[in-house]
C-alpha cells in the first residue's frame, strides 16, 4: 500500500522510530516519503496499515512481566517458549461485568482529530499480553476477594496499572520513538516493583483511598506522572527515574460505592503526598478525580448508556484536556534539529476551569 512492502518495511520502520518524539508544528518534513518512494493512500488503507502495525507490536512485545518469569516458572508451549495470554488490567468478572451492557462497554478514542466513543466486548476490554497464566495468579487477592483496602491489594492495583501502561508503550514502540528516557523509566520503576514482590514488601507502595458514596459505572487503571498539584505548584521530577502515580477507579455495585485509589512509591512521597491531602481538604472529589483520570488515561471504561448520557456531551472538552496534558510539542527546523520544545499544560488544569465531570449524578 502506497509503496510500503515487505522489502522496505524494516528500513522504513527503523527510520520512523528514529524520528524525534514530538509533534511538529510547522511544515518541516523529514523526506521519509521521498526516501522510500511512498505515495498518498486513502483513509481506509491508512487504517489497514495501522491495524497491521498494532498487531505486529502486540506480537513483538509479548512478555511475562513477573519478576520470577523464566522458562522454569512460566507456562511453556511445545517449543519451550513462554505462553503469554491476554491479561485484564481491569477485572473482567468483578468490575467490567458490573458496568457492561449486553456484554459491552465503551471507552473513547481519537478519530480524525475528534474524540469519539469506542465499543469493546467486556472480555477484550483493558487486555494486554503481559503475563503467562501461572504468574497472572499474582492478582488473585484483587480478583477473588472482597476489596478491604489492604496494603497488598492496593499494591497489586498499583502494579497492574503500572504494567499495563508500560506494556502498551512497548507495543507502540514498534513505530514510535519515545526516547531513551522512556525505557530507563520503565526499567527503574520495574526494579522497585520486582524487589517489593520478591520480598512481599507491600509497604513500598503508599496508597490513599477515597470513597464516592454512589456506584458509578466507570472503571479505570493507569500510571502516569503529574507536572502540577491542585494548587498549581510544579512537581519537580528527577533525571534518573520518572516518578509516577498509580490510579484505580473501582466501582462496587453491592456497596453502592466507587473507590478511587491513588498510589505512589514510598520514596516518592515527597512529591505526591500533598495530592492526597489536597484531595481531602478541597472536598471536591468528583471534579478532582475527573481531572486526574480524563487528563491522563485512556484505559477507562463506561457503561454504554451512562456514556451516551453523560460522557458524550463532554467529549470535546476532554479532547482539549488530553491535547494540553498528554502531548509534548516543539518546533523543528529543516535539518531535523529541535529548536524549541514545550508543553501546553496549564499549571491550573487540575482546578478544572472547563467544569468537566465524568460523574453524572
289 vs 61 pLDDT, higher one: 289
Beta strands in 138-217 (DSSP E): 205-212
In a 13 Å sphere around the CA of 328, the CA atoms on its Cβ side amount to 13
pLDDT at 61 over 60: yes
How much is the mean pLDDT over the chain? 91
The residue behind cell 464516592 is 212
> Which residue would you say has higher pLDDT here, 182 or 117?
117
Which residue's C-alpha cell is 504494567?
Answer: 163
Cα atoms found within 13 Å of the Cα of residue 347, Cβ hemisphere only: 6
Average pLDDT over residues 30-50: 85
Report, as an integer, the average pLDDT of 157-176.
91
| 25 CB-near residues (< 8 Å, 6+ apart) | 329, 330, 331
For the segment 228-257, the average pLDDT, to the nearest whole number, is: 95
pLDDT of residue 344: 82
Q: What is the mean pLDDT of residues 54-63?
A: 89
User: pLDDT above 70 covers what percent of the chain?
Assistant: 93
Considering only 2-6, 36-40, 186-190, 329-333, which range has the smallest mean pLDDT? 329-333
Q: So what's the pLDDT on residue 336?
A: 57
Cell numbers for 316, please give them.
Answer: 470535546
Q: Are 262 and 330 in contact (CB under 8 A)?
A: no
Q: What is the pLDDT, as a whole number, of residue 27?
A: 45
C-alpha dihedral, 148 to 151 to 153 to 157, nearest 10°: 130
Mean pLDDT for the stretch of residues 38-55: 88
Whether 215 and 257 have beta carbons less than 8 Å apart is answered as yes
Q: What is the pLDDT of residues 76-117, one digit of tens each?
A: 999 999 999 999 999 998 899 999 999 999 999 998 889 999
Please give the average per-residue pLDDT across 333-351, as a whole number.
Answer: 73
Return the ∠ at Cα 74 (arms to 73 and 80), rounded to 5°: 105
For position 33, what pLDDT does the model report? Answer: 82
Name every residue whose Cβ is closer than 8 Å to that of residue 245 and which is 6 or more positions away in sequence.
223, 224, 225, 226, 262, 263, 264, 272, 275
Amino acid at each position: 500500500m502506497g509503496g510500503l512492502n515487505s522489502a522496505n518495511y524494516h528500513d522504513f520502520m527503523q527510520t520512523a522510530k528514529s524520528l524525534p518524539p514530538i509533534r511538529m508544528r510547522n511544515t518541516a518534513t523529514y523526506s521519509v516519503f521521498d526516501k522510500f518512494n511512498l505515495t498518498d493512500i486513502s483513509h481506509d488503507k491508512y487504517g489497514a496499515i495501522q491495524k497491521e502495525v498494532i498487531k505486529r507490536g502486540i506480537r513483538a512485545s509479548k512478555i511475562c512481566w513477573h519478576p520470577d518469569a523464566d522458562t522454569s516458572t512460566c507456562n511453556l508451549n511445545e517449543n519451550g517458549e513462554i505462553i503469554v495470554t491476554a491479561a485484564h488490567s481491569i477485572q473482567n468478572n468483578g468490575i467490567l461485568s458490573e458496568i457492561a451492557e449486553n456484554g459491552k462497554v465503551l471507552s473513547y478514542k481519537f478519530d480524525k482529530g475528534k474524540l469519539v466513543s469506542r465499543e469493546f466486548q467486556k472480555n477484550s476490554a483493558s487486555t494486554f499480553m503481559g503475563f503467562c497464566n501461572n504468574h497472572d495468579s499474582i492478582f488473585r487477592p484483587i480478583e477473588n476477594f472482597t476489596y478491604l483496602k489492604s496494603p497488598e491489594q492496593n499494591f497489586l492495583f498499583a502494579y497492574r496499572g503500572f504494567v499495563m501502561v508500560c506494556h502498551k508503550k512497548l507495543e507502540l514502540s514498534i513505530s514510535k520513538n519515545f526516547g531513551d528516557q522512556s525505557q530507563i523509566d520503565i526499567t527503574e520503576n520495574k526494579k522497585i516493583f520486582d524487589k517489593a514482590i520478591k520480598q512481599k514488601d507491600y509497604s513500598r507502595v503508599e496508597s490513599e483511598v477515597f470513597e464516592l458514596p454512589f456506584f458509578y459505572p466507570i472503571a479505570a487503571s493507569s500510571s502516569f506522572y503529574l507536572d502540577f498539584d491542585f494548587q498549581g505548584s510544579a512537581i519537580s521530577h528527577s533525571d534518573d527515574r520518572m516518578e509516577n502515580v498509580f490510579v484505580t477507579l473501582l466501582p462496587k455495585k453491592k456497596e453502592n460505592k466507587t473507590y478511587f485509589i491513588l498510589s505512589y512509591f514510598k520514596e516518592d512521597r515527597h512529591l505526591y503526598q500533598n495530592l492526597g491531602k489536597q484531595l481531602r481538604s478541597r472536598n471536591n472529589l468528583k471534579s478532582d478525580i475527573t481531572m486526574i483520570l480524563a487528563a491522563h488515561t485512556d484505559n477507562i471504561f463506561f457503561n454504554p448508556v451512562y456514556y451516551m448520557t453523560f460522557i458524550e456531551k463532554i467529549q470535546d472538552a476532554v479532547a482539549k484536556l488530553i491535547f494540553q496534558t498528554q502531548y509534548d510539542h516543539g518546533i523543528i527546523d529543516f535539518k531535523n534539529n529541535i529548536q524549541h520544545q514545550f508543553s501546553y499544560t496549564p499549571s491550573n488544569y487540575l482546578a478544572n476551569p472547563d467544569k468537566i465531570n465524568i460523574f453524572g449524578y
